[in-house]
């Protein structure tokens, strides 16, 4: 019985989600995302290869990065098909990291200028050199 069921499963493309089991989606979407990730990675590599500088560099790098991350989480990790309760529990807390990044960028700016004021542009004395 179990085997017969298993056979039926592989015979027809199982597009419909089995309510008892996890995520099932047509294979096509995985190939599309796989392809997109390749294209986006190639683009971000080309940003370096063609030496984009300044604003366009970080804008392009960050855009491709977020697109890739979004595709992986949404489709490969099936987040777009999960319940909102799980989605928010996982995706909202990392937003707090923005606070850490902000604090540390203020802190590093302070350290940078302290070093400039006290050591000038000379290499700061380092231990073990």
Partner 1 sequence: MADAHAEAGIHTLETFVTDWSTDQETFKKVHWGKAMMWIFLLSDTFVFSCFLTSYMTVRSSTTIPWPNPSEVFALTIGGQSIPLILIAIMTFVLISSSGTMALAVNYGYRHDRRTTMLLMLATAALGATFVSMQAFEWTKLILEGVRPWGNPWGAPQFGSAFFMITGFHGLHVSIGVIYLTTIAIKVMRGDYEAKGNYEVVEIAGLYWHFVDLVWVFIFAFFYLW
Task: Give residues 104-123 in contact with partner 1 (rule: CB under 8 A).
Answer: 104-105, 107-109, 111-112, 115-116, 119, 121, 123
Please pick, from the candidates 53, 54, 55, 83, the single residue that binds partner 1 as defined by CB under 8 A. 83
**Residue 17: partners with Cβ closer than 8 Å, 6 or more residues away:** 23, 24
Q: Is 53 in the site for partner 1 (CB under 8 A)?
A: no
DSSP string, 13-51: ---SPPTTS-----HHHHHHHHHHHHHHHHHHHHHHHTT
CB of 101 to partner 1, least distance (A): 6
Distance CA 40, CA 36 (A): 6
Q: Which is nearer to partner 1, 5 or 55 (CB)?
A: 5
Cβ atoms of 41 and 68 within 8 Å: the answer is yes
Q: Is 56 in the site for partner 1 (CB under 8 A)?
A: no
Q: Is 15 in the site for partner 1 (CB under 8 A)?
A: yes
Residue 71, classed as helix, strand or coil, is helix
CB of 30 to partner 1, least distance (A): 4
Q: Is 125 in the site for partner 1 (CB under 8 A)?
A: no
Please pick, from the candidates 21, 53, 55, 95, the single residue that binds partner 1 as defined by CB under 8 A. 21
Instruction: Look at the block and give the residue holding tokens 């992986």.
Output: 72
């Amino acid at each position: 019985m179990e085997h017969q069921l298993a056979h039926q499963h592989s015979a027809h493309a199982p597009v419909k989600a089995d309510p008892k089991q996890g995520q099932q989606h047509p294979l096509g979407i995985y190939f599309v995302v796989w392809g997109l990730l390749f294209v986006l990675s190639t683009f971000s590599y080309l940003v370096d290869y063609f030496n984009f500088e300044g604003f366009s560099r970080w804008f392009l790098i960050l855009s491709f990065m977020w697109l890739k991350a979004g595709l992986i989480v949404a489709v490969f990790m099936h987040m777009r098909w999960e319940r909102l309760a799980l989605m928010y529990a996982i995706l909202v807390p990392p937003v707090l990291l923005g606070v850490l990044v902000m604090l540390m960028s203020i802190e590093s700016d302070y350290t940078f200028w302290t070093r400039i004021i006290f050591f000038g542009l000379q290499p700061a004395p380092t231990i073990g050199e």
